[in-house]
Structure 1
Amino acid sequence: MLVASVADAYRDGIVDTGREPQFLFLAAFLVTFAFIRTSTHMIRAGVSWWPGNVSTKGGTHIHHMVFGIITIMVVGWVAVTGELGSPAREICAVLFGIGTGLTLDEFALWLNLKDVYWEKQGRASIDAVIVAAAVSGMLLVGFRSWVDAAKSVEDATIAAVAAAGLFGAVIAVVNAAKEKFGFAILSFLVPGVGLIGALRLAKPRSLWAHSYGKKRRARSEARYSGEAIKPFWKRRGGLRDRFALGLGVGRGR
């Protein structure tokens, strides 16, 4: 039953939408890259039963990207000159994926024009494969799917912003009721900061403090006694005095 379900999903999502060649290309590309990368590690490790490098009679090592380039050239010529139907189109897609996998596995070599497969620069080959696989996967999924996903994200973002705005407004009202007008203003901009003021004790003469019992009212009066109970712009040594000192008000010339 599981196999049948997978087959139905493949037919509905890949075959019926005309994306089977793209899928076969991507699958062949990834499988080829995994195989050839494993093969090179086996050869380097000197595994006796694993086939070695391909070399000419003169001892010249033939890199596997050569076979990849030849495969891509042949498949490209067939695709351009022929009118491909099924299954020729699917076969070409698989061969093109194989050729691409063989070629990009040695991307660093034809980028640097020297054998850096096992060097630090060889990392460029893996980066190229990751980029190619990501782009191919995106194209396989289709731009329509990405547009739908983006729309869903946009709707979710709008909902999140609206919720944050509503939350900020509620927090601003709470801060205003506690006579914490600075926090009330900040609540609209950064609700998280406004929440700090909303959770702390209200000033003893505020509207919110009328709901306090004796103990909480006493705590509030102790915290906001004297200068602390005044608005910040009226406190001695506060913002007003600092601003005046900064301007040199009251100082002799």
Structure 2
Amino acid sequence: MQSSLIKRIISHYRNEFRNPRQERLFISSLTFLAAFGGARAITYAIQHQIGPFHNLSVGGRHLHHLVFGIGGLLTVGYLWLVLVGTERRPTAASRATAALYGVGSALTLDEFALWLNLQDVYWAKQGRGSIDAVAVFRALLSIGVWGGPFWQALARDLLGKRPLN
């Protein structure tokens, strides 16, 4: 039963994401949402001293996670210029850079208030509400837009309904 379900999901994925660009958009949206949620959870744990998490400092200077996001975005930009984006079929490099783009974007945008205020207001009032809402909304909307046909086909199959075509 579980093996059959996994095969059906893989079949729908391959069928719905024949276009490498659409697949990259979908992958980057999923990783954006996961990385954004992960970054928020880890920074919450650091702030409230939960678990093994702690701030990262280099040479006595606090290193914000947007630094890793910017590094990821720069890496993806370079790789897309020289390796990815021109092939007709999806490749492992294409999928990996799409995932890294989503993660890099999330880590960078999660600290957007730092750019805007030029000070660490992550937990202050001006650093929270609208940024969280916009980022999560963007991620969910992207997943729906770029993955819509996949989710619809999977739902029809799992609910036992015939395809609309």
Q: Please, what TM-score do these two structures have when normalized by structure 2? A: 0.75
Match of 1:23 among 6, 11, 26: 26
Given the alignment of the two structures, is residue 10 of structure 1 paired with residue 13 of structure 2, yes or no? yes
1:106–1:117 Cα contact (<8 Å) kept: yes
Q: 1:132 to 1:80 in 2, by over 3 A?
A: farther
Question: Structure 1 counterpart of 2:126, which letter?
Answer: Q
Question: Structure 2 counterpart of 1:140, which letter?
Answer: W
Q: Distance in 2 between matches of 1:115 and 1:63?
A: 9
1:36–1:102 Cα contact (<8 Å) kept: yes
Match of 1:38 in 2: 41
Match of 2:53 in 1: 51
Q: Distance in 2 between matches of 1:127 and 1:69?
A: 21
1:71–1:96 Cα contact (<8 Å) kept: yes
Question: Structure 2 counterpart of 1:4, which letter?
Answer: K
2:28–2:98 Cα contact (<8 Å) kept: yes
How many aligned positions are there? 139
Q: Which sections of structure 2, spanning at least 5 residues, go unmatched?
A: 149-165
Q: Which sections of structure 1, spanning at least 5 residues, go unmatched?
A: 143-253
Match of 2:118 among 113, 130, 135: 113
Shift of 1:100: 0.6
Q: SS where residue 51 of structure 1 aligns?
A: coil
Counting aligned pairs with the same residue, the percent is: 37
C-alpha offsets along residues 59-112 of structure 1, whole Å, 9 cap, x if unaligned?
A: 211100111011101111221233555111111101111101101111111122
Match of 1:96 among 76, 96, 101: 101
Shift of 1:7: 1.6
Q: SS where residue 57 of structure 2 aligns?
A: coil
Match of 2:160 in 1: none
1:104–1:128 Cα contact (<8 Å) kept: no
Q: Distance in 2 between matches of 1:117 and 1:22?
A: 28
Q: Please, what TM-score do these two structures have when normalized by structure 1? A: 0.50
TM-align CA RMSD = 2.0
Bigger Rg, structure 1 or 2: 1
Q: 1:3 to 1:138 in 2, by over 3 A?
A: closer
Q: Distance in 1 between matches of 2:120 and 2:29?
A: 26
Q: Distance in 2 between matches of 1:56 and 1:116?
A: 20
Shift of 1:32: 0.6
Q: 1:26 to 1:107 in 2, by over 3 A?
A: same
1:65–1:104 Cα contact (<8 Å) kept: yes
Map 1:111-190 to 2 at 5 A: 111-123=116-128, 124-134=130-140, 136-137=142-143, 139-141=145-147
Q: SS where residue 63 of structure 1 aligns?
A: coil
